Each structure stands twice: as structure tokens, then as C-alpha cells.
Structure 1
Amino acid sequence: MRRAALAGAAVAFATAVLAACGSSGGGPAAGGTPSGPAASAPVVPAPAVPGPAVPGPAVTGPSGAPVGDPAGGPEDAETPDLPKVPADEITPATGTFSKPQKEYLTDRVPQGMDPAAVLQTGQETCDRLRYLVKADRDIAVAAVVTGEVADAEPAVAHLCPRHQDLVDEAALGYPDGTHTGAALRPGRYRAPSPTKDCAWRLTGAKGKELAAGSSDTGRPVSLTVPASAATFISTGCYAWLPEGATR
């Protein structure tokens, strides 16, 4: 289990706010109505989505305290195995969807599902990012890099574009794992919230070791990916973010 080393005060703040907020998906759904989504019909639960479930909090602090949405909830309403409702047929039970909401829902609403339920997952993604940014911006970006906050790119593009900088930076980062070839971008990177079992290794042609390191402090660490790197392996470091990225 990854454990992000977020400062204690930030963890306490985000945990308290999200515990109070839950999975509200509280943005207006249509016509600027502040009290909830335009579709007032009961929300139909999304069908099971292939792939690993993400139960519980999206991000945890150094002691396991939840930083993400404590109620869990569906991360991605897309269900590739089911036919999608045509864009011109996506309508709420009452009212109308705004243009950005309609764009988000296009090709994302399975037949037989209330589109308001799909919209809610995108709104919850935006809520997670909003509260994580308040606690610690680096943790918010790292959560997108690792997929802890799933489906961030389309949700941000259509429902909360103010967070586009988080998605753009995350696209240049690396989660734990093995990265090779074209996926490697030379530059300086930092792991803002590694675990105490963080280790990394960079190799070049024919497996020649270029650099390696580890950290058992849980404090941020940095490394440089050289142009000659062919493979980058990271374990226990959670996520590497580009240094010098636009803030």
C-alpha cells in the first residue's frame, strides 16, 4: 500500500474537509442550479466496470489517514462492454445539461443508465482534486500520476478546467513501475511523497547502470534522468513529478 508522506497538518485538513463533504458531486448539473444536478430522477448505480476496484480513500497520509474521498465510489462510469447512448439522445430526467456537461457525457453513458449518475462521477473527480489542492498541490498532481484520482483528464477538460495545470504536469510524471524507451524524458524529477521503502534505478544501453538510489526517510527525493537512459525503475516512491514545471 502506497503511503504518501504528506505533512501532518495538510493531511488533517484534507481528511476533515473530505469527511464532511463525502462523495457529494455537488456542482450544478445544468442551467446554473447550485443545489445539484439538473437530473432529479433517482440516480441509477453504474454497472460494474472491468478492472481493479478502488475501494476506500484515494490518497493516504504517512499513517494511513485518508486524504481522498472516504466514501470511495465509482471512479469511472465508462463501461466499454456496453453500447453508449448517442450524444443527441443524452438528456436528464428534468431540465437540461450544459454544453460542457454534454461534452463530458458524450460516448460515456451506457444504454439504460441515468446520465446524471455518469456526470456525478466526473463531478466527484473534480471535488477530489479541489480538496487535495487545498491540502497539498504536489499530492494532487501525484494522485493523478498514479491513477489514485482516476479519470481526471476528461473530467478536468469539461467540468473543472481550472485544474488543467494539474493534469498537464501529471502527464510529464512517472508512477512507480518500469518505464522504457519513448516513455523516458530527460530531466530532473522529484518524488514529493515517497514511502520509507523508496528505491530507483536508471540503466542505459545493454543494462548498464547509470544511477541508483533509495530513501528510508519518507522525505522528498530528487533524481536526474539522463538522455542516455533506456530504463527507469521505481518502487515505493509513489510518483515522480518534473522539477521546474509551471506552477
Structure 2
Amino acid sequence: MRNPFLAGAAVIVTAAALAACGSSADGNGPEAAGAQRSAASGPAVPGASADPSTTTPSAEQPKKPAEPEEVMPAGPSAPGGTAAGPKTPSDEITPATGTFTKKQKEYLEDRVPRGMDPAAVLQTGQETCDKLRYLVKADRDTAVGAIATDEIPDAAAAVAGLCPQHQDLVDEAAYAYPDGAHTGKKLRPGVYRSASPTTDCSWQITGAGEKELSSGRSGTGTSRKITIPKSARVFTSTGCYAWLPEGANG
């Protein structure tokens, strides 16, 4: 025989389910509650089943406000000359072991965020020098282009402080043109060659009134030479990586 108590409990459960459906229509159902579901459930009734479907509905429990997510404090900025925030004073820049050379100290000055190991910043600069040394052996034009395009960021500071033998690369990159549009005083008349161009390398030089002075494409991926005249107003390059000066331009 069916237990009358269980039958009565089933009626109560059905009523609770209907009440839950009604509340979900106004945005208070489980889907709308989201992360607040556990906070809004209220304390459990002593002796009651842990299954909410068997709990007798009672007066609505006041909902607790959702606790804000814990925000972890930001750590020190990444190594590099562009790191924001307060820097370690130069007289406090000391390695955990050993000593820094005079050149190393000059490179690290105003570059070490507070709380960061200065050796980590120094290592970043040394890695920049290592990259340049490798690229020069493989292809010098690519090394100059990597500086001009900022593919190797902060190269000028690293070279000046840690590997001055590569200063000629930095000097040449200062007169180079990475892909993009260049106008006004940034334009320097002269002959330029493309460094590491792709097979989609194209360029255009325009003068006053947007009159086209010259343009071209290189579908072979081989280096090309162009001349930027004094009358140039805009020089645009795409897929050519960088244009390096021929001789003493500028």
C-alpha cells in the first residue's frame, strides 16, 4: 500500500516546483542567479534532507549579496625600459650575488621596477644583444630591419650599454623605413633597398596633391631599390618589412 505520508510530500514537492517556475519568469530562477545560487539558498533546516526538492517551502530567505571576487594584486612590471611604475634608485641596484660592471649599472639605471630582481632586467638586455649577434651572422639587413621595425624592442639602449659593437646597426636603423605610411619630416630623400621582403611587397610614393611619383611591386621576395625624391610627401610600404638607406642618406 502506498504510504500516505509520501503522497502528501509529493504534493508539497509539486507546489514547490510550480513556485520555482513562477519565480524564474521574473529573472530570479536558477539560470538568472548564476554565481549567487549558493549564497541565496539560505541555511539548511536541521534534520531536513540535503535534497532541495524534498524541502518544504517556507518564508523566503533573505538573499545574501554576492561576495566580490578576490582580485590578486598586480606583480612587478615586466623587464624592459618601458615598464611603468616607480623604479629602484640606482644606488639600490645590486645583484643577489657578485657585482655589476659600470656599463651594466648604467644600463640598469631607471630601468628596474621596484620589487624586481635587477638581474632579470639585465638578462633581457643581454638577450637582445644575443639576438643581434645571431642575426648579423645570418643576414645583416635583417638585423637592421628588426631594430627599425621594433621587432627587437629597446635595442638602442641594450646596444649602448651592453654590446656597443652593434652600434652601426642602430645608427643605420635610425634612417630606415618600416612598413607603413611615412609623411612630412620623416621623409628623407635618397636611395633605399628592401630588407627581407615578402612576395607581396608593394610601395607607393606620392607628392603634392597626392600625385603618384612612383610605385611598384616585388612578387619574387628579392630585395628591390627605390628612390625617394625631394618632392615626395607620402611614402607607403606593405609587405616589404623595412627599407634601409643606401650609402649616406639623411
| Higher CA-based Rg | 2
- From the superposition, tell whether residues 135 and 176 of structure 1 become closer, same or farther in structure 2 (CA, over 3 Å): same
Alignment partners' CA distance in 2, 1:189 and 1:104: 32
> Counterpart of 2:247?
244
- From the superposition, tell whether residues 109 and 48 of structure 1 become closer, same or farther in structure 2 (CA, over 3 Å): closer
Asked if 1:98 corresponds to 2:93, the answer is: no
> Counterpart of 1:194?
197
> Counterpart of 1:171?
174
> Counterpart of 1:126?
129
> Counterpart of 1:77?
80
Q: Is the 8 A contact 2:112 2:121 kept in 1?
A: yes
AA of the residue aligned to 1:148 = E
Cα deviations by residue, 1:31-58 (Å, 9 ceiling, x for unpaired): xxxxxxxxxxxxxxx8455xxxxxxxxx
* Structure 2, gaps ≥5 residues long: 1-74
Q: Is the 8 A contact 1:193 1:238 kept in 2?
A: yes
Displacement after TM superposition at 1:224 (Å): 0.3
Q: Is the 8 A contact 2:187 2:235 kept in 1?
A: yes
AA of the residue aligned to 1:145 = A
**Larger helix fraction of residues:** 2
Alignment partners' CA distance in 2, 1:108 and 1:235: 34
AA of the residue aligned to 1:222 = K
Alignment partners' CA distance in 2, 1:80 and 1:131: 26
Cα deviations by residue, 1:47-78 (Å, 9 ceiling, x for unpaired): 455xxxxxxxxxxxxxxxxxxxxxxxxxx523
Alignment partners' CA distance in 1, 2:81 and 2:173: 21
Alignment partners' CA distance in 1, 2:81 and 2:144: 23
Q: Is the 8 A contact 2:80 2:154 kept in 1?
A: no
Which structure is richer in relative contact order (CA contacts within 8 A, separation 6 or more)? Answer: 1
* Structure 1, gaps ≥5 residues long: 1-45, 50-75
Alignment of 1:144-223 (within 5 A): 144-223=147-226
AA of the residue aligned to 2:205 = L
RMSD: 1.6
AA of the residue aligned to 2:151 = E
AA of the residue aligned to 1:84 = K
Q: Is the 8 A contact 2:81 2:154 kept in 1?
A: no
Q: Is the 8 A contact 2:203 2:216 kept in 1?
A: yes
Partner of 1:212: helix, strand, or coil?
strand
Displacement after TM superposition at 1:139 (Å): 1.0
Percent of residue pairs bearing the same amino acid type: 68
Alignment partners' CA distance in 1, 2:124 and 2:205: 38
Cα deviations by residue, 1:142-181 (Å, 9 ceiling, x for unpaired): 1111111111000000100000000000100000000000
Q: Is the 8 A contact 2:76 2:114 kept in 1?
A: no
Alignment partners' CA distance in 2, 1:126 and 1:184: 29
State which of 75, 87, 91 in structure 1 corresponds to 2:90: 87
Partner of 2:231: helix, strand, or coil?
coil
> Counterpart of 2:67?
none
- From the superposition, tell whether residues 100 and 144 of structure 1 become closer, same or farther in structure 2 (CA, over 3 Å): same
Displacement after TM superposition at 1:245 (Å): 5.0
- From the superposition, tell whether residues 245 and 133 of structure 1 become closer, same or farther in structure 2 (CA, over 3 Å): farther
Q: TM-score, normalised by structure 1?
A: 0.68
Asked if 1:143 corresponds to 2:146, the answer is: yes
Q: TM-score, normalised by structure 2?
A: 0.67
Q: Is the 8 A contact 1:78 1:110 kept in 2?
A: no
